[in-house]
A and B are shown apart, each in its own frame.
Chain A
Amino acid sequence: MSPVEMNLEARFDAYVAEEKKIEPKDWMPDAYRKTLIRQISQHAHSEIVGMLPEGNWISRAPSLKRKAILLAKVQDEAGHGLYLYSAAETLGVTRDQMLDDLHTGKAKYSSIFNYPTLTWADMGAVGWLVDGAAIMNQVPLCKCSYGPYARAMVRVCKEESFHQRQGFQVMLNLAQGTPEQKAMAQDALNRWWWPSLMMFGPNDADSPHSAQSMKWNIKRFSNDELRQRFVDMTVPQAELLGLTIPDPDLKWNEARGHYDFGDIQWEEFYNVIKGNGPCNKERLAARVKAHEDGAWVREAANAYAQKQKAKKADATTHAA
């Protein structure tokens, strides 16, 4: 690193430490740019892959109202993916490059979406737990040091709050419904609880990127802090639903003022990341198929736009 760069970097660090925002064309360390591109694109990929498990139930939603709500929610996720891709694009990467990275398996997305949605209750559990965990992760990002990411997250969080509420309402209706519905709700909680806790990422001691991201004000709280907050928030909600969280070690710790909870099966977590989850292949294949099936459509629109441009240019030349 040259002295000039060192000086720039020191100024950058000081600037960020003062809670000031970085905008697209400002100087930034290469590693900061790379970290953001990785994190924002991964976040965007998670939104669009995340459309699939819930999209799975749009056609089978059990009432017209639920169908409309679910469709609007999954549509929002497309919007969130779009806001986030746009934020990443301000850092000099194209959406096509990011999609290529997703489609070739180079880029990751949240592992939670590699789990199947087996019953309607999963729409409740995903909204309540998965969106709940996502919001916990995302709210601090509204204050992240990179302006476009922070602005995208403000928009995302505003829209996301209905997602969790509708999920909880689905669960509530099931929990108060017929015995079969209640069993459906409990089964969904059983399957989604642990994967939801894994959404906060590895324990702090094993989280490779965390320290630098905290220093740069990209990340504001540690994985374990957020996970604890999520557990503390969710346990009373489960009680309200009359459902049992599938963790025999879960109990209130008066001294800590928090719930203690059991050990997470990290072996499963790393296997799902590696591609061995129940739906990794389907999810990625569905994204690749949509992109490839759409190639002729995107190309046609481009060709038409080019023709129109040429016509306009032609008309202007003749007029002149």
Chain B
Amino acid sequence: MSSKQHEWPLWEVFIRSRQGLGHKHSGSLHAADAEMAIQNARDVYTRRQEGVSIWVVPAEAITASSPDDKEVMFDPANDKVYRHPTFYKLPDEVNNM
């Protein structure tokens, strides 16, 4: 019986732990609609004052990069060391730059 019934959709939950920080993925849960997802997220993921703001996103609405493309996507950044401040050796006199 239960398997024939539609399960409530899965939602991904993102929580801002305090003002000034970004929302971070906390976990997921099931809810029939967005209002319920927000309430469930509050009850499931902020019982210990973990948050001040919640985002919920239907899991199916997320587009993710493919793990197979990991190398193609992210390896090319490896050799662009000049993007990092430590690449530049400057005289000691300007060491606070």
* Distance A151 CA – B27 CA, assembled complex (angstroms): 9
* Distance A82 CA – B36 CA, assembled complex (angstroms): 16
Q: Which of A83, A152, A159, A292 has the most CB of B within 10 A?
A: A83
* Distance A171 CA – B69 CA, assembled complex (angstroms): 55
- What is the interface of chain B mostly: helix, strand, loop, or mixed? loop
- What is the interface of chain A mostly: helix, strand, loop, or mixed? helix
Nearest CB on A from B52, distance (A): 19
Indicate if A318 sits at the interface (CB-CB under 8 A). Answer: no
Assuming A25-B67, A79-B47, A302-B8, is B2 touching A96 (CB within 8 A)? yes
A302 CB contacts on chain B under 8 angstroms: 5-6, 8, 32
Question: Interface readout for A72-100 with B: 1 if CB under 8 Å, 0 if not?
Answer: 10011001001100100100001111011
- Are A89 and B47 in contact (CB-based, < 8 A)? no
- Are A79 and B67 in contact (CB-based, < 8 A)? no
- Are A308 and B28 in contact (CB-based, < 8 A)? no
Indicate if A268 sits at the interface (CB-CB under 8 A). Answer: no
How many interface residues does chain B have, given as a range?
20 to 34
In the complex, chain A residues 99-130 whose Cβ is within 8 Å of any chain B Cβ? 99-100, 103
Indicate if A305 sits at the interface (CB-CB under 8 A). Answer: yes
Tell me which of A25, A95, A155, A159 contacts B66 (CB under 8 A): A25
How many interface residues does chain A have, given as a range?
20 to 34
Nearest CB on A from B63, distance (A): 12
* Distance A26 CA – B8 CA, assembled complex (angstroms): 26
Chain-B contact segment, one of A193-201, A272-280, A293-301: A293-301
- Are A27 and B3 in contact (CB-based, < 8 A)? no
Indicate if B30 sits at the interface (CB-CB under 8 A). Answer: yes
- Are B29 and A96 in contact (CB-based, < 8 A)? no
Question: Interface readout for A289-320 with B: 1 if CB under 8 Å, 0 if not?
Answer: 00110010011011011001000000000000
Residues of chain A having any CB pair with chain B under 8 Å: 23, 25-27, 72, 75-76, 79, 82-83, 86, 89, 94-97, 99-100, 103, 151-152, 155, 159, 291-292, 295, 298-299, 301-302, 304-305, 308
Residues of chain B having any CB pair with chain A under 8 Å: 1-3, 5-8, 10, 27-30, 32-33, 36, 44, 47-48, 64, 66-67
Task: Given A25-B66, A99-B2, output 15 extra A-B contacts at Cβ < 8 Å.
Answer: A25-B64, A86-B27, A94-B7, A96-B7, A97-B3, A100-B2, A103-B2, A155-B27, A292-B2, A295-B1, A298-B8, A302-B5, A302-B32, A304-B33, A305-B33
Q: List 5 tightest A-B contacts by C-beta distance, closest first.
A: A301-B32, A305-B33, A86-B28, A305-B32, A96-B7
